[in-house]
Amino acid sequence: MHHVECMSPLRLRKMVECIFNGSNIKVCIYTTNKTSDIIDPGKQPKERKTYALAVEDSGKNYNTVLKNIKKTVGNKPVSNIIRGLRSTKDGKLLVITDKDEDAVGKLMKTMESATETIKVRRTGEATKMEVVHIRGLDAVTKREEVVASIETKLGSLDGKSYKLSELRPNAGNTLATTLTINKEDAEIVMRDRHVRIGIVRCSTDRRINFSRCFKCWSYDHKEADCKGSNRKNLCYKCGKDGHLSKDCKEQEACPICEVIGHKAGSGKCMNFKRALSHARRKDK
């Protein structure tokens, strides 16, 4: 049996073991040298010999952060585990250290005392991002006003990793926008369930993710379990075949609700609203 690219050698081996378990059949799996070590249970993956700490400070450049860290750490004992200092591709300070859990923890605390806004994290510890919907902005709101309002809750956004979508039309001649930011800051933005933008209190809601079938567009099952109609090639706006939604000139129609006047997955779609309500209850 030859290894195929769509499946790892380890997974293929386990599948074969299940199929031929209890039989006298001998199966050989042929794979490339590059992946053959994956199916060798005796071979251990290489272990990292160092740790890397990413350091950033809101509104400060690399040299300023570096000077503050050197001044704070100085000749203290915690500095003995530092192997090197360099910059990352996006301009953050990267501190390479010995692999010593206790010493690294002490070093991180020491560096975090350099300024009130400095942040230190181990690389590989991905920052969890949260998506927040902001709705109810008045029709003439500018993007700069949204940023300024968010900064009243979080402080300056300079140096933070975030994304603010373009303002888009919403119900009642209002606007909406979407903020993607780290989970900690997202919780602060949503703490009061609103943010004041201009003279309006705009609602804030966490994006709720839930599964849907990409074959028939329903929300009560996944594609693997689908027994419904295949709508993969239909226009998402009108539900008809022969064109894409970006080229559609037809009236909006929802094949799930079987009504004209809204498209599938929109705020007017009752099936979507029921699925969203169910997902919100589970999220609480």
pLDDT tens-digit map of 226-272: 888 899 889 989 999 999 888 999 999 999 899 999 988 887 888 88
Answer whether 92's CB lies under 8 Å from 159's CB.
no
Residue 184: name the closest of 255, 235, 132 by CA: 132
> Is the alpha carbon torsion for 149, 154, 155, 158 positive or negative?
negative
Looking at residue 249, its pLDDT comes to 92
82, containing H or E segment? strand 82-87
Nearest to 187 by CA among 215, 155, 211, 153: 153
Q: What's the order of all strands across the beta sheet hosting 82-87?
A: 82-87, 93-98, 50-57, 118-122
Q: What is the DSSP letter of 3?
A: -
- Structural tokens at position 145: 């006003």
Burial of 198 (0-12, 13-18, 19+ CB in 10 A): middle
CB-count exposure of residue 34 (10 Å: 0-12, 13-18, 19+): exposed
The secondary structure of residue 142, as a DSSP letter, is: -
Which residues, 6 or more positions from 281, have their beta carbon under 8 angstroms from its beta carbon? none
Per-residue pLDDT reduced to its tens digit, 23-64:
778 787 777 655 444 444 445 555 668 889 999 988 889 999
Share of the chain above pLDDT 70, in %: 89
Report CA Rg, the chain: 27
Give the Cα separation of 165 and 37 in Å (integer). Answer: 45
> For the whole model, what pTM was predicted?
0.48
For the ranges 11-15, 178-182, 221-225, the maximum mean pLDDT occurs at 178-182
Q: Mean pLDDT, the chain, as a whole number?
A: 84
Residue type at 217?
W
Distance CA 56, CA 118 (A): 6
Which DSSP string do the residues of 189-216 spell out, in sequence order? Answer: HTTTSEEEETTEEEEEEEPPP----TTT
Q: Is the pLDDT of residue 12 over 50?
A: yes
- Which distant-in-sequence residues (6+ apart) come within 8 Å of 75 by Cβ? none
Distance CA 151, CA 119 (A): 18
